[in-house]
């Protein structure tokens, strides 16, 4: 038999709890930004896979044949993080107008200005 209509309606009514809305019941819980165990283990596995000489040789063969799939990039990004995206902030093509010497000078100045 099905439940009476009243009990189905009562099930939809929120019941009071000991916690206030949007306030954690465990204020000293995991710190923000900390990784869970599964993430740490998956990253460690990805690093071990990538650092394996046999895997690297097989990857090289697949890249030469053009059969390395997109998963390769995902594994590398998971193991070592995504590469930094560089965005040109000046007018479009501004670097194209520089001579090689000017470009080398700017590069050297930027590298010198970087913190160690």
What are the domain boundaries of the chain? 36-82
Reply yes or no on whether the pLDDT at 113 is more than 90: no
Q: How confident is the model at residue 54 (pLDDT cuts 50, 70, 90)?
A: very high
Cα 110 to chain centroid, rounded:
27
Tell me what percent of the residues of the chain surpass a pLDDT of 70. 78
Reply yes or no on whether the pLDDT at 103 is more than 70: yes
Task: Mark out the alpha helices in 1-116 (DSSP H runs).
Answer: 5-12, 37-51, 53-65, 71-80, 100-113
Reply yes or no on whether the pLDDT at 1 is more than 70: no
pLDDT at 86: 73
pTM above 0.85, yes or no: no
Q: From the CB of residue 42, how many other CB atoms can be counted at a distance below 10 Å?
A: 14
pLDDT at 33: 80
Cα 23 to chain centroid, rounded:
28
């Amino acid at each position: 038999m099905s439940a009476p209509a009243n009990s189905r309606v009562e099930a939809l009514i929120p019941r009071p709890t000991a916690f206030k809305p949007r306030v954690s019941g465990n204020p000293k819980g995991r710190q923000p930004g900390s990784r869970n165990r599964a993430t740490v283990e998956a990253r460690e596995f990805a690093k071990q896979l990538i650092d394996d000489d046999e895997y690297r040789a097989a990857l090289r063969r697949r890249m030469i044949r053009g059969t390395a799939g997109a998963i390769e990039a995902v594994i590398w990004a998971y193991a070592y993080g995504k590469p930094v995206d560089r965005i040109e902030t000046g007018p479009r093509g501004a670097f194209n107008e520089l001579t090689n010497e000017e470009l080398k000078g700017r590069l050297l100045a930027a590298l010198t200005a970087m913190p160690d």
